[in-house]
Structure 1
Amino acid sequence: MKKRILAGLLATLLCAALSGCGGGSENGSTPGAQSSSGSASPTATATSITVGIAQDLDESLDPHLTVSAGTREVMFNVFEGLVKPTPDGDLIDAVAKSHEVSDGGTVYTFTLRDGVKFHNGAAVTADDVVWSIQRCADTGKGTAPLVEAFSNIRSVEATDEKTVVITLGVSDNEFLAALTTAILPAYSDQQSTAPVGTGPFKFVSRTIGDSIVLERFDDYWGEKPSLETVTFKIFESGDALVLALQSGAVDLCAHLTPTQAAQLGDSFTVLDGTMNLVQALYLNNAVKPLNDVRVRQALCYAVDKQQVIDLASDGTGKALGSSMYPAFTKYFDDSLTNYYTQNVEKAKSLLAEAGYPNGFDLTITVPSNYQPHIDTAQVLVEQLKAVGVNAEIELVDWNTWVSRVYTDREYQSTVVGVDASSMTARAMLERFTSTYGKNFINYNNADYDALFQEAQLVTAANDGQEQTALYKQMERNLTENAANVYLQDLGDLVAIRSDLTGYQFYPIYVMDLSGVKAG
């Protein structure tokens, strides 16, 4: 259905846009959850639900080794750090009862909460906290820390059974957010297959390629979930996912497209938020012809991002101009959103100047289990034709995408969404520094690297205004050098069985089920 909609609209709207008459629409209202197929009959109980997800989790469930956002999204329910995020974007104490920061911003003192237990029944100790932080600060293999912000740690010690003191080399305005890093039992070696945390749900089982089962942790220190069991069921086919929702086999599912949401019956409520990620046509800056900034800029001028939002996302996304999304309010630079506006002639001129007067062939590698990214790629293919770029979509399964694109960087371009692993601007921008292990676009810009290093050395003075300004300069650097073709923060449509309440959106890419309940 979506393909037919795209095919019909592309011909009309692309023609209008290229003749100067195309315009984006305002964001629409939440799509209705009505369908001629009728209502699904809920099969879940009030205390057990099934959640549909589009991909399997990482091979390892160890939270310190997580690669994909989809794994963090699910396992957010299992793990906690000294602090944890709230739906409002604040950080509150979790495993810690309280914390203090020294006047110079380099010494963090945490008092642990009484009664916090791991899912294996053991009480959390200061030694567990020290071990968890040290593990992420030093891999012991001469490689980068598992949590980059921890490279600034000079010492971490338990001064008594309930107190942990962390001393930094220099003040870091965003360091507290890094302490959402999961606290694990000291010297645990089974986290890959049998993860143990302190969160409101505990891990029960996993069937590779099929499902993950979580169960309420009755010894949880905080408010206990209403749900007793949550089964995450994997659907790598969008059509199969919709059928499962319609049949009542799935009770909740996030990241639906407007077309998918419109096919559901009135037994579902569709909630409307944003995904809190940066969707872009990500470019491998190290391969020809994308290693030429003029070619990358030409691709930016070839694209009408509002049209992408209207056609692929039914107007629900928020246009972006760099690697930051609006939930990071003080860091988000909306002036970059329209840095490039569609200009076919300018795009052609830049391509000719770079030695490609007749355009070139471009492969867009897209994970086949993410319909929003597929729909976006289809629109881009049509837009790029106008400047002579012959783009074709290569669909690959998620594991192939991770290994070939993200890890090995053997690709030309890809459409995906990049999120923040924690509520820090650093998490969004560090990935494009030249020496960072997760710099999958191979961006290599000395000025960008220098700005990042400077941002890490500034003090906490002026409420971080100096650091904020530096991060915005980094965003502008990415935009001006067309590191990627930035598109949107995708709208996030969440279908939830109509008798369930309590689902909340976060400013980061997580799915918190601790508040979901019947009634």
Structure 2
Amino acid sequence: MSCRKGGYFLPARLWYDPALLQAHSGEESIRGLPAVRRGLSRFRAVLVLGPLCCCIPVRAEDSLPAAHRGGTLHLAAVGSGGTLDPQINYTAEYINLFVTIYDGLTGFRKARGPAGDTVMPDLAEAIPAPQDGGRTYVFTLRDGIRFSDGRKVTVEDVAASFRRLFRVGSPTAGAFYGDIAGAKACLADPAHCTLAEGVSPDPVHRTVTFHLTAPDTEFMMKLAFTHASILPADTPDHDTGNNPVPGTGPYHIVSYNPEGGIVAERNPYFHVWNAEVQPPGYVDRIEYRFGLTDEAAVTAIENGQTDWIYDPIPLDRLGELGARFTSQTHIEPHLTIYFAPMNVHIPPFDSEKARQAVDYAINRHAMTILYGGPAIAQPLCSLVPPELTGRMAGCPYTKGADFAHPAPEWKAPDLERARELVRESGTAGQKVTLVVANRSVDRAMGNELRDTLDAIGYHADLKPLAPALMFDYIQNSNNHVQIAIKDWSSDFPSASNFLDGLFGCENFHPGSNSSVNISGFCDGEVQALIDRAKTDVTLTDAQRADLWAQVDALLARHAPGAPIIHKYDVTFVSKRLGNFFYTHNFGLFFSQVWVR
């Protein structure tokens, strides 16, 4: 769930008109909006650099200007992000830190702008050429890598890390790594997973061979995601919870209190193998503090006591930042959506018409205002952000439109049509509980949707949960969540992150906290299109994008999740933070900023 941002242009400054806080009007008066629009990048295709990209190791201590080294970076969040297990945690709150602690065989270039979409070798010496029609890859592990506890990294550690993905029930085990030979058996019986046919280590030649059952056009990107981090072979085959696992990045976690925070310090065994993927860090220490409210964290940044906040900026502080702290406030394009997943297995949303009613009824204009206005959010008709290819054309769920006659863009909710669908579904009058994260923005959006559900014929309640608990809770089908509001960020720049990740059959795991297909949706026609888009190496980029657009359109008809808004990221940093370094995949890249 990582972020994608631009940085090759000067960041647009946040200008916010307080009139946006008034009822659904005034958004056109936001100063600076054209500049924001000009600044937004259009994301380009991911490049994969091949075997020529072997890199000469660099000593970490020699590769940074001495004037900027040292100090402590202070981060803040309302609550913890859950488990420290890098193969299980699926929150941007921790993944954006984990990227400085762990490495995979491949990694994304740490660069501003579209250059950050490039996949490069990390712990592997090179990106291998595909063999057997894209079904076999042979990686050579770099020699001399050590974990933060001093142990040498071996090819057996690599093989064990991929077995562990399945044994611990990583939320992306099926979606990202399900094409590895033996993965299906591992998904069915995780405790006895061997991947013997799929991952073959060769200690003599320091190679690891991957055998896939079908070509995977995005496999190198998936290996760059943090769930594919290389861990010691003796890492327990269960969620490590509050216990950090040794890694190979420039930092390692030295203390953790889920009520208080995380402290990370320099990894004494870190070595720069590819400075473009895992450069050395500037600060000596990172302190991630939990427990401040989002309001208090903003004030702490203004006072120089905190350098960055994970949570969205509270709505009532945006005007203040735009007026007084423009040089410290950055707006960056972000591959993130807010959507409302609906449980297709329990009433009332086991009815397709009931789900479609919600899609018609959502006031996306109001949601845009509640998030902060059109400088940082826009109504969304597709489950795919507009910066990506592979999204359906038009907007069927808006006033005066339908699937036969979609509107070019969202205009207004159609409550009359929504009420009609609720009546036709036979679900009018039923009780509905809406689950949201207990943050100011999420609660505000939740109140708006709760009122909408009431207006179309339901008796709705709002259930805010602590952010650290909410995501696990809504994933687990045993909790019988009917509907929720959730933000979702891409792990790499592809429509598959949203369409397959959220609605692919392989991502629904009943009774599990690692079931990112929150709605429990599984449809044969949709899945066939998903599978072809992921595996058919004969397709052109345009043909693959067309397949994803077909998936998007089918999902719109079935409506297991209603898109709400897509957003840009407002990042507020302290005055002392220098070298603001934002990447598409990981947001503010903590190792590359310095503190003065």
What TM-score, normalized by structure 2, do the two folds share? 0.73
Q: Is residue 2:108 matched to residue 1:80?
A: no
**Matches of 2:27 and 2:430, distance apart in 1:** 28
Q: Is 1:202 aligned to residue 252 of structure 2?
A: yes
Which protein is richer in strand relative to its size? 1
**Counterpart in 1 of 2:154?**
125
**Contact 2:391 / 2:548 at 8 angstroms: preserved in 1?**
no
SS at match of 1:113: coil
The equivalent residue for 2:448 is 379
Are residue 173 (structure 1) and residue 217 (structure 2) matched?
yes
- State the alpha-carbon separation in 2 of the partners of residues 420 and 26 from structure 1: 31
TM-superposed CA distance for 1:81, in Å, is 0.7
CA-CA distance at 1:229 after TM superposition = 0.5
Q: CA deviation at 1:445?
A: 2.7
Match of residue 60 from structure 2: none
- Residue number in structure 2 paired with 1:307: 366
**Separation of aligned partners in 2, 1:215 and 1:54:** 22
Counterpart of 2:22 in 1: which secondary structure? helix
Contact residue 141 and residue 206 of structure 2 kept, 8 A: yes
Aligned to 2:177: 150
Question: How big is the shift at 1:233?
Answer: 0.8
Q: Please, which of 62, 65, 71 is the counterpart of residue 47 of structure 1? A: 71
Match of 1:286 among 341, 345, 348: 345
1-structure distance, mates of 2:31, 2:355: 31
The answer to whether structure 1 residue 234 and structure 2 residue 293 are counterparts is: no
CA RMSD of aligned residues (A): 3.3
Shift of 1:26: 8.5
The aligned counterpart of 2:137 is 108
What's the CA shift string for 1:114-159, capped at 9, x where partnerless?
44332112332222222222333x4399x99835432322332234
Whether the 8 Å contact between 2:72 and 2:595 is mirrored in structure 1 is no
CA distance in 1, matches of 2:339, 2:368: 12
For 1:294 and 1:198, the matched residues in 2 are separated by 50
Alignment match, 1:182? 229
- Alignment check: 8 A CA contact 2:503 2:521 kept: yes
Could you give the per-residue CA deviations for residues 172-212 of structure 1, whole angstroms, max 9, x where no partner exists? 10111121210112223395503111122211110121110
Query: Which is worse superposed, 155-164 or 345-354?
Result: 155-164
**Partner amino acid, structure 2, of 1:157:** S
Structure 2 CA distance for partners of 1:89 and 1:8, relative to 1, 3 Å: closer
Once the two structures are TM-superposed, the CA of residue 248 in structure 1 deviates from its matched residue by 2.8
**Structure 1 residue 251: deviation in Å?**
1.3
* Aligned residue type for 1:195: V
Instruction: Give the fraction of aligned pairs with identical amino acids, expressed as a percent.
Output: 19
- Quote the residue 2:528 is aligned against: 450
Compute the TM-score of the two structures, normalised by the length of structure 1.
0.83
Secondary structure of 1:308's match? helix
Counterpart for residue 17 of structure 1 = none
How far, CA to CA, are the matches of 2:288 and 2:523 in structure 1? 41
Which one of 258, 264, 272 corresponds to residue 214 of structure 1? 264
Q: Is the 8 A contact 1:268 1:496 kept in 2?
A: no
Q: How many residues align?
A: 486
Separation in structure 2 between the aligned mates of residue 410 and residue 207 of structure 1, nearest angstrom: 30
Amino acid in structure 2 at the alignment position of 1:188? T
For residues 24 and 175 of structure 1, the distance between their equivalents in structure 2, rounded to whole angstroms, comes to 42
- Kindly state the Cα deviation for residue 455 of structure 1 after the two structures are TM-superposed: 3.5
Shift of the 289–140 alpha-carbon distance from structure 1 to 2, 3 Å rule, reads closer
Which whole-Å CA distance do the structure 2 matches of 1:140 and 1:317 have between them?
Answer: 36
Partners of 1:256 and 1:492 within 8 A in 2: no
Contact persistence 1:363–1:391 (CA under 8 A): yes
* 2:498 aligned partner: 428
Match of 1:164 among 194, 208, 213: 208
CA distance in 1, matches of 2:260, 2:168: 35
Asked whether the equivalents of residues 276 and 490 of structure 1 are also in contact (C-alpha less than 8 Å), the reply is: yes
Instruction: Provide the rounded CA distance (Å) in 2 between the counterparts of 1:58 and 1:116.
Output: 29
Identify the residue that residue 317 of structure 1 maps to in structure 2: 377
**Matched-pair contact (CA < 8 Å) for 2:307–2:574:** yes
1:349 and 2:373 equivalent? no
1:469 counterpart SS class = helix
- Contact 2:261–2:287 at 8 Å: present in 1 too? yes
Q: Is the 8 A contact 1:49 1:251 kept in 2?
A: yes
534, 538, 542: which is aligned to 1:461? Answer: 538
Using the TM superposition, give the Cα deviation of residue 367 of structure 1 relative to its aligned residue in structure 2, in angstroms.
1.4
AA matched with 1:415? I
1:356: Cα distance to partner? 5.2
Asked if the contact 2:389–2:495 (Cα under 8 Å) also holds between the matched residues in 1, the reply is no
Cα distance, 1:50 vs. partner?
0.8
**1:279, 1:486 within 8 Å by CA — same for their partners in 2?**
yes
Counterpart code for 1:169: T
Residue 96 of structure 1 is matched in structure 2 by: 124
Residue 127 of structure 2 aligns to a residue in which SS?
strand
Matches of 2:370 and 2:577, distance apart in 1? 31
Gaps of 5+ in 1: 14-21, 31-44
Q: Which amino acid aligns with 1:285?
A: V
| Amino acid in structure 2 at the alignment position of 1:220 | H
Secondary structure at the aligned position of 1:178 is classed as helix
Residue 434 to residue 148, structure 1, CA distance change in 2 (3 Å) = closer
Q: Distance in 2 between matches of 1:55 and 1:241?
A: 12
Q: What is the distance in 1 between the residues matched to 2:209 and 2:389?
A: 29
Change in Cα spacing, 1:145 to 1:405, as seen in structure 2 (3 Å) is closer
Deviations 1:213-242 (A, max 9, x none): 111235331431111101111136323323
* Residue equivalent to 1:56: 80
Taking structure 1 as reference, are residues 466 and 243 closer, same or farther at Cα in structure 2, changes over 3 Å only? same
Give, in whole Å, the separation in 2 of the partners of 1:238 and 1:203: 24
Partners of 2:519 and 2:357 in 1: CA distance? 17
Deviations 1:374-412 (A, max 9, x none): 222233344455534454322222344244322234222
> Once the two structures are superposed, what CA deviation does each residue of 1:73-121 show, in whole Å capped at 9, x if it has no partner?
3322211111112353221211112122225212212233344332112
